[in-house]
Amino acid sequence: MINRYLDHAILIPQMTRQEAIEWILSGIKHKVKTVCVRPCDISLAVEMCRGTETEVSCVLGFPHGTACTETKIAEAKLYCKKGVAEIDMVANYGWIRSGLWTEVHDDILGVTEVAHRSWRKQPPSTVQVKVILETSQLTFDEIIKATEICIDARADFVKTSTGFNGEGAAEEAVKKMLETAAGHIKVKPSGGIRDYARAQMFVDMGVDRLGVNGSSTPNICSGTGNSHEKSGY
């Protein structure tokens, strides 16, 4: 079922609390894998999703990835304590473009070391980490090397995009990530996946998760249509 691949994003900055509630309810209704929320909505989403088939993921260092590593670690600790199941962190892609691979590695490892402690009372006991590379800003060589760094830093997923900067999930970038991953890390395309056909295409390529704007979830799950929502994902 395509819905179990979906991280249903609720990340539009200007969203009201009521709009966030309505989008969370939509994710729960469609039994998506997670609702991916703004940090300010974590407690709300955890409470709403309790007892459902949908868990809560949140973004960290979003959308630019330029926060200090110490700040990202502190964020991760807070979000884990609040009850998230997964964290989608933005890598410092300025560092990636600079070839500062030790710094990129340590930035990711700081978050995975926090998230992989036993925070949760139900399985999985640890919080999974997805690393957003913002592939539209990188060369293929940089994407390949960054994916290797994510594996070495023990991330659970490598992810294409925030949906807020440039092109989203490009097929060739996803192919490079899958080839480099070689089963050692999961791959999540995100950005521009607005209908069932495109979502299923990526699933057929071998990805494990899809990042989609919450406005696109009904169309994807029903196998119809194309959403024209452009505000993230």
DSSP string, 53-122: S-EEEEEESTTT--S-HHHHHHHHHHHHHHT-SEEEEEP-HHHHHHT-HHHHHHHHHHHHHHHTSS--SS
For the record, the structure tokens of 23 come out as: 């989008």
204 is a catalytic site residue:
no
Active-site choice (41, 88, 107, 156): 88
156 contacts: CB under 8 Å, gap ≥ 6: 86, 112, 128, 129, 130, 185, 186
159 is a catalytic site residue:
yes
Q: What is the rounded CA–CA span in Å between residue 180 and residue 188?
A: 13
Active-site choice (72, 159, 176, 186): 159
**∠217-55-110 over CA atoms, to 5°?**
110
88 is a catalytic site residue:
yes
Positions annotated as catalytic residues are 88, 159, 188
